[in-house]
Amino acid sequence: MKEVKIETTLYVFNSIEEVPNDVINLMRQAAKARKKAYAPYSKFNVGAALLLENGEVITGNNQENASYPSGLCAERTAIYYAGSQFPGIKILKMVITAGSQNTPTNSPIPPCGACRQAISEYEVNQKTPIEIYFMGETGKVIKSNSLANLLPLVFDKSVL
Ligand code: THU
C-alpha cells in the first residue's frame, strides 16, 4: 500500500479590485445575474458569467422549483446555454458569485460537485483549461487556473 497525496493550487485575491479588469467586468455581469436568480426556497442566489473565446459573455443564475431536485444551479444554467448556443466555442473563464437573501455573504462560495462535473465535460472536450473565479457578494475572490484543479480524479469520457 502506498499513500498518494493530491495537491491543488488556488489564488486568493483580497477583493474584486485586485482581479484583472476583464474579470471585474465578468464579476459585475455575474452579480447582475445573481440578483435575478429565482431562489424562493433556499433564498440563496447564485450568478455565473462565462467568457467565450469569440468574446461572447453568457450569464446564468439558479432556477429553483417547487419540486426541489428539478431546479438547476447557476453554473449549469450558464454553461448549458453556452453549449447549446455556441457549440465548439471554447470557454475561457467562468466567474461565480453567490449571496444569501437573509444574511450578507462575504466569503467565497465554491461551485458544487455536480457543477464541477458538468463544467469538466466542456474543459475536457476543448482541451484547454477554463479559469474559474468564485466569490460571495463581496470580499475575497478565489481563482483556480482550471476546473481540473477543483476536481481531482475526474470521471470523464476516457473511462467509458
Ligand atoms: N447553487 C448554485 O446555483 N450553484 C452551486 O454551485 C451551489 C448551489 C444553488 C442551488 C440552489 O438553488 C441554491 O444554490 C442553494 O443550494
Q: Whose CA is nearest to atom 14 of ligand 1?
A: 44
Q: Please report the pLDDT score of residue 121 as a whole number.
A: 98
In a domain, 160, yes or no: no
Q: Please report the pLDDT score of residue 112 as a whole number.
A: 98
The tally of domains found in the chain comes to 1
Give the range of the structural domain holding residue 54, as residue numbers without chain letter. Answer: 11-150
Q: Residue 53 Cα, ligand 1 centroid: separation in angstroms?
A: 26
Q: Give backbone dihedrals phi and psi of 150, rounded to 5 degrees, phi first.
A: -95, -5
In a domain, 81, yes or no: yes
In a domain, 5, yes or no: no
Q: Please report the pLDDT score of residue 24 as a whole number.
A: 97
Instruction: Tell me the CATH number at 87.
Output: 3.40.140.10
In a domain, 91, yes or no: yes
In a domain, 159, yes or no: no
In a domain, 157, yes or no: no
Distance CA 78, CA 59 (A): 5
Which residues touch 122 (CB under 8 Å, ≥6 apart)? 79, 82, 83, 91, 130
In a domain, 158, yes or no: no
Q: Give backbone dihedrals phi and psi of 5, rounded to 5 degrees, phi first.
A: -105, 135
pLDDT of the chain, 160 residues: tens digit per residue: 999 999 999 999 999 999 999 999 999 999 999 999 999 999 999 999 999 999 999 999 999 999 999 999 999 999 999 999 999 999 999 999 999 999 999 999 999 999 999 999 999 999 999 999 999 999 999 999 999 999 999 999 999 9
pTM for the whole structure: 0.97
Ligand 1 site, CB within 6 A: 39, 42, 44, 46, 62, 64, 71, 73-75, 111-112, 115
